[in-house]
Amino acid sequence: MTSENTSQRCQQSAGITAENTTAALHAYRMALAAAPLSAETRRTYLSKVRGYLAWLAVTDLDGAPLDERQARDWAVRDYRTHLLTVTKRAPATINNTLAAIDDFYTRRGLGPATADRLDLPTQAPRALEAKAALRWLRAIQDHPAPRDRVLALLPFYAGLRVAEAVGLDLGDVRLSARKGILRVHGKGATLRELPIHPQLRADLQNWLDERPDWPGAHTSTALLLNRRGGRLSTRGASDVFRTIAQTAGLDDPITAHTGRHTFATTLIRGGTDLVTVAEMLGHARLDTVRAYTRPTAEDRAKALNLLPTDR
């Protein structure tokens, strides 16, 4: 029997066809479009559910997981195992995928699947250690585009999420001769104000001086523009981070979240109290910020170096 025939047998045994998974994805896309979610959340959820449905279409499963609750639970648990053992996804990534799949099934009227989340590693989120942070900052300063330098520095010096950075408007930046205030629109329609670090302030001013020469400068309220005159997207922002990271020559990839984690870790290890850091990050719960007090992989490696050897 050919692999094509095997695939068709698997689909038929579970009541799954390419047509009904395509229809399910289309219906979910329409439901997301009408939901009060950010554009980034819609894209993320749709991408993760698309991967789940593609897996359903080629996997031998019992029942009809698109329509039956018990079959749904079995399928989601099997997919969780697939992500962990076959594609080697990180536990946090798998948990986020499960959240998207729960949203998919909830909008189909079945409710969330009964599938436990994976335990997350008990160590601090990955932040840049001192030498890597210096190389990252030097790569930013060597980058020729003022807009890109501002974007790369916003997580590092203000702790912004990438969606918060691209969501800034001109009116959210207030600069004086020596100081500045940044107004940030966070999750859940929250609003916070942050003092602007001197280095970030200098690069912001350089960008504001250049911005009038960009397309859309006089019609768009966005602080960070794309080359077509619209607001810079999160995808475009990720490309900027990727470009600068390549010139930094670091072993690990750098994202906006890496800069945000470095911001939080540096403040906490420098003695800043958790309440202040939570407010600056836009976190409502202190438990979220306490993750930055956990030991890092570097801390664990340094601890091993304290052990004596007999040579």
- Give the catalytic positions in this structure: 161, 187, 257, 260, 283, 292
Please, which contacts does 217-225 make with residues 24 or more away whose CB atoms are closer than 8 Å? Answer: 221/169, 221/170, 221/171, 222/166, 222/168, 222/169, 222/170, 223/150, 223/168, 223/169, 223/170, 223/172, 223/173, 224/147, 224/150, 224/151, 224/165, 224/166, 224/168, 225/147
Instruction: Report the chain's C-alpha Rg in angstroms.
Output: 23
C-beta of residue 152 within 8 angstroms of C-beta of residue 241: yes
- Whole-angstrom distance, CA of residue 221 vs CA of residue 83: 41
Q: Which amino acid is at 11?
A: Q
DSSP H or E stretch at residue 192: strand 191-195
Which alpha helices (H) appear in 211-272, and where do they start and end?
Answer: 234-248, 256-269
Q: Cβ–Cβ contacts within 10 Å for residue 192, how many?
A: 15
Q: Cβ–Cβ contacts within 10 Å for residue 57, how many?
A: 18
Residue 67, C-beta contacts closer than 8 angstroms, at least 6 positions apart: 15, 110
Q: Which two tokens stand for residue 274?
A: 């958790």
Cβ burial, residue 307 (10 Å; 0-12/13-18/19+): exposed
